[in-house]
Structure 1
Amino acid sequence: MVVMSSEEFAPPKYAQIVQTIRQKIADGTYPPGSLLPSETQLVRDFKVSRPTVVRALQVLQLRGVIEREHGKGSFVKAAPPGASSQNPRPGRAVLDRVEADENSTVIDAGSLAASAAVAKLLDVPEGSTVVRRRVLFRDDERPTDLFTVWCPVHQAEGTQLGEAQPLTAGIREHLRASKGLNLQHVVERLSARHPSTDEAKLMEIRKSAPVLGVLASVFNGGGRPVLVVDLVLPGDLHELEDSYSL
């Protein structure tokens, strides 16, 4: 009989941080609206690397538990966890991520012809020029998610979406600051699937491994599609949860 140590069943380090912070929110240590300890302090407290802490905070944001504000920190959502406003919003969360603050690599960024699927979602003719941006995020152990965004070329003009350096603001804030463009509405589609050959290679997973795909159409205040977002999450690293009354 092989006896396995408890360490073999331990969740990843970032997941342990997520669990601890959620417990402290639940017991009132971090009340609604409060500022969480800084990333530097969390690195010290948990004795982990900064990418691991950033990964944990991104998961909490994706699950709707906290809000992250560039230059200010991470705040506990005003409503208690479990309320309807705490439902996960992956599309919104990824639009607020700051690439320069995370362990990210811009895989490619530039113009190309829109495929039929992307053209339909952006409501532009097939073959129209669009700007595509692909970014791979990692923690200190492995890739954690692959983010791709498409934008009509006229919307991307005057922005850095087509440039190779990491953005120093979230895409939503970057578009507002550079174009005066306010993103107002998101329609998300979630699916469980296998990765493409390219996705599997970039994310260092098997072609047969399950991934969670989040495809989001992002609209401006006039109801016009501005962005298409594709987020690929390894199934063994992510879970989405929801709470609602019956």
Structure 2
Amino acid sequence: MSEDAMYAPKYVRIIETLRRRIEDGTYPVGSQIPSETALGREFGAARPTVVRALNEMQLLGELQREHGRGTFVKARPSSRASDSNRPGLAVLDRQETGASVRVLETGRRPAPNQVALLLGLAEAAPVHLRRYVGLYDSIASELVSLWAPLDVARSAGLDQEGPLTVPVRELLAAAGKERLTRVHERLRARRATEEERAALELGEGEPVLAVLGSVEDSAGRTVLVVEVALPGSLHVLEDSYNL
């Protein structure tokens, strides 16, 4: 696993391993990869974690999942594929569907202190919040919150009610005058909040892996703050390195 992917959730490890095997010819284009059950046994992962990894790769055009037949290699990983190794950035490239997300709320909200600081706004300044539960194999696998300045949300179309059929990164790029240039992302483990427990149907005291990311444009403005809460029972932090 690369240094900048240290302590990544387990679904990222599955993605990276499958990509290495595609690159080295273990799984050539057109070949079938192991079943979800086999991958779960190999990586010690719950089925929703395996499904999430395969879905991410399918959205990027690397895999083709065929009902009743299995999962096949469609193409070699692209140079942009490494972006999905970062949990916060991965949500920016996701095309939402009614089956993959359950939108909880969208609208004008006062910015929490941490979000306001990242956006360069006063505490409790009005911002646009878009919050949804990510579903994998019909199981709540993540709680995503997207916080944007009101003008950014309006121009990019982040304020629509249903699933976004165009990925957030593309909406931001098309609406802004400046290029998106950098994402700062932090990952830590903590106890789930009451809101996270309810949305993700977590047990008492169950931890989450919390991702906080901020997206900057070429003018140095933070145009979006991304929060992702991953259930600790489904996503394990892992790393490997040479002694």
Tell me the TM-score normalised to structure 1 length.
Answer: 0.70
Tell me, yes or no, if structure 1 residue 108 matches structure 2 residue 105. Answer: yes
Tell me, yes or no, if structure 1 residue 231 matches structure 2 residue 228. Answer: yes
Tell me, yes or no, if structure 1 residue 68 matches structure 2 residue 65. Answer: no
Task: Give 2:121's aligned residue.
Answer: 124
Secondary structure in structure 2 of the residue aligned to 1:236: coil
Contact 1:54 1:102 in 2 (8 A): no
Secondary structure in structure 1 of the residue aligned to 2:147: strand
Deviation by residue 1:108-144 (Cα, 9 ceiling, x = unmatched): 0011121222111100122221000001111225211
Number of corresponding residues: 211
Secondary structure in structure 2 of the residue aligned to 1:199: helix
1:89 maps to which of 70, 86, 109: 86
Q: How far does residue 241 in structure 1 lie from its aligned partner after superposition?
A: 4.5
Task: Give 1:99's aligned residue.
Answer: 96
Structural RMSD (CA)? 3.9
CA distance, structure 1, for counterparts of residue 217 and residue 208 of structure 2: 29
Q: How far does residue 243 in structure 1 lie from its aligned partner after superposition?
A: 6.3
1:53/1:167 CA distance change after superposition, 3 Å = farther
1:211/1:76 CA distance change after superposition, 3 Å = farther
Task: Give 1:77's aligned residue.
Answer: 77
1:170 maps to which of 156, 167, 178: 167
Q: How far does residue 22 in structure 1 lie from its aligned partner after superposition?
A: 5.5
* Structure 2, unpaired ranges of 5+: 1-10, 38-47, 65-72
Identity among equivalent pairs (%):
40
CA distance, structure 1, for counterparts of residue 220 and residue 240 of structure 2: 28
CA distance, structure 2, for counterparts of residue 187 and residue 23 of structure 1: 26
Deviation by residue 1:67-123 (Cα, 9 ceiling, x = unmatched): 8169x99754357x9xxx689322221111111275211110011121222111100
2:140 maps to which of 136, 139, 143: 143
**One-letter code of the match for 2:132?**
V
Contact 1:148 1:231 in 2 (8 A): yes
Q: How far does residue 158 in structure 1 lie from its aligned partner after superposition?
A: 2.5
Question: Does 236-245 or 196-205 show the bigger shift?
Answer: 236-245
1:192/1:168 CA distance change after superposition, 3 Å = same
1:146/1:74 CA distance change after superposition, 3 Å = farther
* Structure 1, unpaired ranges of 5+: 1-13
